[in-house]
Amino acid sequence: MVTTDDQSAYILHRRPYRETSLLVDLFARDVGRLGVVARGARRARLASQPFVPLTVAWAGRGTLKTLIRAEPAAAGAFSLAGPALYLGFYANELLVRLLPEWDPHPALYDAYERLLGALGKNDAPEPLLRRFELSLLSELGYGFALDVTAEGVPVIAEARYCYVPGTGLLSRDGVGRDNGLVLRGHHLLAMAADDYRDPDTRRSAKRLLRLALSEHLGPRPLRSRDLFRRSVLPAGPAR
C-alpha cells in the first residue's frame, strides 16, 4: 500500500458510506481534487467539516484512496455563517463539479483560501465570488480576456459586446441582436481592472460568469444556489 506524505487540504463534500464510513471529496494543494474513504469516520467523529484547513494523509493504490489521517491545521477554521456559509458551499460545489481528479491547481487552492478568509470577515461577497470564478475558469483552461475581444480587438468603454459560449467576447456589430449576452464595454474594462464598485458592473459580472460556468456545468442545477435562494428570500404565507 502506498502512503502519501502529509498534505494541506480542505473537505469539499462528504456523504455516508456503508455503516460507519464516509466518502469524502478533498481539495489538496499539491494534488488537486481527490476522493477518499474515511473509514469509521461517522463513529469516531473525524474532523471532517468543510472550511477547516486540514493536514491529511491517505494510502492506497487505486483511484479511491483511504484516509489515514486528518487533523486541523494550526491556522484554524474559517467561521462562515448566514449567506457567507452558502457562498462557501457554492464554491465547494463548483470545485467538485468542475475540477478533474488528481490535477494540481495550487494557485486555485490559494484563491479558494483567500475567498474563505474574506467570507469569514464578512467582506462584500460579490467581488470575492467573481474573482474566484474567474480564477477557476482560467485554471481549467476556459478563461477569456475581458479587455480584448476574441477577434483580438481592444474593448472600448463606449461600445457594446456579446459573450458567446465557446467563443468569448465579440463585437456587437459582428453578431446578431439575439446572439449571446450583451455587455457594456466599461463594465468589462472594470472587471478586467478588478474594480467592482459599480453595482451595474457587479450585475454584469454575475450574468457573464453564470453563463460562462453553465457551459461547463451542464444542465444539472447547483444545489447551493437553491439553498442560498431559500436562505435569503422571505418565507411565503403559511399554507
Place of cell 451595474: 200
Looking at residue 236, its pLDDT comes to 40
Per residue in 95-137, pLDDT (tens digit) is 999 999 999 999 999 999 999 999 999 888 889 999 999 999 9
| Gap between the Cα atoms of 102 and 31, Å rounded | 5
Angstrom distance (rounded) from CA 145 to CA 237: 46
Confidence at residue 5, expressed as pLDDT on a 0 to 100 scale: 83
The predicted-structure confidence for 190-231, as pLDDT tens digits, reads as follows: 999 999 999 999 999 999 999 999 999 999 999 887 776 666
Q: How far apart are CA 113 and CA 72, in angstroms?
A: 15
